[in-house]
Each structure stands twice: as C-alpha cells, then as structure tokens.
Structure 1
Amino acid sequence: MSRLSKALAGPGYVILNVLRAINIITFLDLIAASVVMLIKISINNNFFFFEAVSHAFTTILGVFLVISELPFFDKFFTRFVPQLGETASFVPLSLVMLIMGVSVLGNLNNDDYSQDHMGMPFWRIVASAGILAMTMGIVNFIASFIFADSENSLTARHVRSYGAVADKVLDSKSSQRSFKLSPSGSFHNNNQADGLPTYRQVSITRSAEELRNSRFPVNISSPVREKTTTSPHATPYGETPEVTMPDLAHHPAMQGGNFV
C-alpha cells in the first residue's frame, strides 16, 4: 500500500490541485445560492428571521472554506483550525460539503424557492450548488484515502502541496522542529516548543558549606574556652598552669634548730 501511495503521489499532485479548483467553484456556487435564497425569502411569519440567519451563515461559511482552499493560509489553518490544516485529511471538508449540499437542496421544498417564484435561472443556481456540493463531498472523501500514506504519516493535503517529495519535506520539517541552532552555536532540543517536557540532570554534589548550612543550621562552638581576664587565678581549660618556686624559708631543712 505504501508503494502504491508513492506511485500515486506524482499524479496525485495534479489531480488534487484540480479538485481544489473545483472545490473553490463549488463553494462560490453555494455562496451565490445562499445569497439568492436570502433575497427571495418571503416574510410569512415572525420566524423568517431564523431562515435568513441560516442563509447568511451558509454564505459566511462558504467564504471561510474558499479561503481555506487557497494555498496562502496553510499555517493559519494548521494552527487555529487543524481540521482544515495541512496535517488533516479531506474527511472533515467532505462532511461539511455534504451537509451544505443537503441543506441547500432541502430548501427547494419550500414554495418560496420554487421555479415559479424564483425563476428558472435562480432555481438552477440553487439546484446546481446542492448537487455539486454533494458530489464533491463524496469525491473528496474518496480522494482522502486514495492519496494518503498512513505508514509515513502523509495525508492527501501533503500530497496536494508537495507531490512526490512530500515525505522528504515532512522529514525535513520534523528535523527542524526537533533541533534548532542556538545563537551560541550549540544545538538544543526544541521539544519544549511542541509541548513535550524537558528533563535536566541536577548535580547531586554540593559543597560542604552548602550541606552545613542546609542540614545543620545550628552553629556549634569550639570546645576550647577562651582565656578570661576577669580572674587572675583562673586556670584556662586545656592550658598548663605556670609552675612557681615555693618559699624555702619555711622548709624544715632550712630550719636546723627545729630538726630532731
């Protein structure tokens, strides 16, 4: 299936761009049909306002879809409306076209939009818009699966934009998103811009001073006491006291008269 998709990528570039032009014509036809029905609406009761709003909404939606099919706003739709962006398939677009086609054709059941009331030229505009929208919705739905390459994560929109080199362009873009050259000249991972978490290696080595401040906030003083000057006879802890010569006048050996 992957080989078949690669073989169809070249012709698919031409076929899908032709379908793009037909899609734009279809949406323009839907816009014209909605404007015609908005003009030809009859005020039968107070609920005509909601019918007018539905036609106005279809007109605005048609203009929005025409802009989405132009090749100038791919980045905008990829970011804000991913269902119509470059990475999406044609399935959402085809479903919207089917709903719009059924809605337009359903209005022909109303007497206000009959051939006699609208006239044959305007009636044909409405009928052609509904039929063309339903037909192109089915065609886009089928093309979304024929020209897609699920194994390489390629959608039909990728093939419509890049043709046979769609896989290479996609690989190049993914590589640029993964790694980006920083101003200092070193490469760093750019996964954080894609919403992925980053992991940093935290150093587990700390200085002795940092550990002492964090684990032992209480400072322990030195066991050696400082020498005090308040008392002259006090002996400092840990120091050797001075040896003084005893008074020999009172020694028994010096007193011969008293020696027995």
Structure 2
Amino acid sequence: MASLKESLAGPGFVILNAIRILNIIALLDIIAACALMLVKISLLSNFFVFEAASHVITAGVSIFLIISELPFCRNYFDHNWPLLGQEAGFITLALVMMILGVSVFGDLNTDATSQESLGPSFWQLILSAGILAMIMSAINLIASFVFADSDIGVTARHVRAYGAVASQKVVKRTASQRVFRLSTERDSLPKYSTESTPRRQSSMPRFPVKITGPMKGEDAASSKYSRETSEVAVPNLAHHPALHPGHV
C-alpha cells in the first residue's frame, strides 16, 4: 500500500494542482453568484439586511479559501489556520465547500432568485456555482484520502506541493523539528555551576586566638594571693562582743 501511494505521488502532483485550479474556479463562481443575488435582493421584507449579510459572508469565506489554495502565506495558515495548512489535507476545504454549495442552492428557493426573475442565464450561473461547489467538495474529500500516507505523515497537500519527493521532505522536516525541540528543551533546563555559586561564609568573625604560656615567679604568687583573698572566710561568732557583755 505504501509503494502504491509512493507511485501515485508523481502523477498526484499534476492531478492535485489541476484540482486546485478547479477549486478556485468553483469559488469564483460562488462569489459571482453571491454578487448577483446581492444585486437582485428583494427589499419588500424587513429582513433583507440579514439576507444580504449572508451573501457577503459566503463571498468572504470563498475569498478566504481562494487565498488558502494559492501557494502563498503557507506559514500563516500552518500556524493560525492549521485545518487549512499543509498538515491537514483537504478535508476541511471539502466540508466548507459542501456547506457553501448547499447555501447557494438554498438561496434559489425565493421569488427574487427564481428563473423568471433572474432570467435563464443568471439563474444558470447561480445553479452552476452550487453544483461545482458540491462536486469539487466530493473530489477534494476523495483526493485527501487517496494521495495521503498517514504512516509517514504525508498529506495530499504535501504531494501537491512537493510531488514525488513529498515523503523525503516530510521526513527531513520532522527530523529538523525534533532536533529543534530537543535543543530548546535542553536550553530551557536550569544550569548549575560550582564555580559561580558563592560559598556560604560564617557570620561569626574570626579572631586570632592567643594562648599564653604558664605563669612563673611573681605572676604565679600574685595569682595564688588573689585566689586566697578571693575566698572570704566566715568569722567565728564565739568572739563577737555581743556574746560577752562584761567586756564592754
């Protein structure tokens, strides 16, 4: 199955770019149909503003899809509109074009957009816009599965952009993204350095300790005298004058 899809990558480049042109033609047809219905809108009802707004929104979405189909602003759509980017294929495009086609068909159910009111040529223009949108929706949905290889992450948009070398481009891109992710994760980790970390110093100041030698001679005698005088002896109460009144 993988070899079959690789063999389809070369012809798929031509087929998918032809489908791109048809997508743009179908979207331009929808824009022309919306402009025509906007001009022919009926002003008899008070809700014509909302009908006009629906036509403007439909035309705006078609213009946005045309820009997404052009080979410009790929990075913008990859980052801001990933469902229309290179990694998403044509599934979202097919669903939106189906909704646009159904909306155009629904607008034909009014008296202002009837064949008698618009005329055969204008009515056929609006009818062709709905038919082309629904047909291209089905084609895009089928192409998105036929030319994609989910095993290696190749989408139909990759094949449309790179052709037969789409698988190689995707593998290189995936490898570069992994290297970039690993490098960013490594740079984001905190770094610890023993040289840059200051050592904790004691808050107590350090003073030099001087140890004196043993005292000799007079120093020893004076120290002995000071020790003896420091010890005060309790007097003997037997010799107190209060106890011998005759001697006073």
In 2, Cα distance between equivalents of 1:199 and 1:107: 56
Q: TM-score, normalised by structure 1?
A: 0.76
Partner of 1:68: 68
Partner of 2:212: 239
Letter in 2 for 1:240: G
Partner of 1:96: 96
Q: How does 1:152-171 map to 2 (within 5 A)?
A: 152-171=152-171
Aligned CA distance change for structure 1 residues 112 and 16 (closer, same or farther; 3 Å): same
Aligned CA distance change for structure 1 residues 178 and 107 (closer, same or farther; 3 Å): same
- Pairing 1:123–2:123 present: yes
Question: Post-superposition shift, 1:223?
Answer: 7.5
For structure 2, list consecutive stretches of 5 or more residues without a partner in the other structure: 220-248
Question: Post-superposition shift, 1:13?
Answer: 0.8
Partner of 2:200: 212
Q: Which has the higher helix share?
A: 2
Please give the secondary structure, in 2, of the residue aligned with 1:152.
coil
Q: TM-score, normalised by structure 2?
A: 0.80
- For the aligned residue pairs, the C-alpha RMSD in angstroms reads 2.5
Question: Post-superposition shift, 1:71?
Answer: 1.1
Partner of 2:232: none
Partner of 1:172: 172
Question: Post-superposition shift, 1:64?
Answer: 1.2
Q: Which deviations, in whole Å up to 9, do the C-alpha atoms of 1:209-255 show, x marking residues without a partner?
A: 83424xx5x32545826xxxxxxxxxxxx211564579xxxxxxxxx
- Pairing 1:85–2:85 present: yes
More deviation, 12-21/66-75 = 66-75
In 1, Cα distance between equivalents of 2:153 and 2:208: 74
Letter in 2 for 1:63: I
Question: Post-superposition shift, 1:165?
Answer: 0.2
Question: Post-superposition shift, 1:25?
Answer: 0.3
For structure 1, list consecutive stretches of 5 or more residues without a partner in the other structure: 180-188, 226-237, 247-260
Please give the secondary structure, in 2, of the residue aligned with 1:111.
coil
In 2, Cα distance between equivalents of 1:112 and 1:100: 19
Question: Post-superposition shift, 1:63?
Answer: 1.1
Count matched residues: 219
Please give the secondary structure, in 2, of the residue aligned with 1:109.
coil
Q: Which deviations, in whole Å up to 9, do the C-alpha atoms of 1:135-190 show, x marking residues without a partner?
A: 110110111011000000010000010011001112223344444xxxxxxxxx55
In 2, Cα distance between equivalents of 1:154 and 1:62: 26
Partner of 1:251: none
Aligned CA distance change for structure 1 residues 204 and 57 (closer, same or farther; 3 Å): same
Partner of 1:200: 189
Q: Which deviations, in whole Å up to 9, do the C-alpha atoms of 1:72-100 show, x marking residues without a partner?
A: 22222112211111111100000000000
In 1, Cα distance between equivalents of 2:102 and 2:172: 41
Greater length-normalized contact order (CA 8 Å, ≥ 6 residues apart): 2
**Which of the two has higher C-alpha Rg?**
2
In 2, Cα distance between equivalents of 1:202 and 1:70: 46
In 2, Cα distance between equivalents of 1:245 and 1:176: 91
More deviation, 69-78/139-148 = 69-78
Partner of 1:53: 53
Identity across aligned pairs (percent)?
Answer: 46
- Pairing 1:25–2:38 present: no
In 1, Cα distance between equivalents of 2:31 and 2:198: 72
In 2, Cα distance between equivalents of 1:17 and 1:190: 33
In 2, Cα distance between equivalents of 1:241 and 1:56: 109
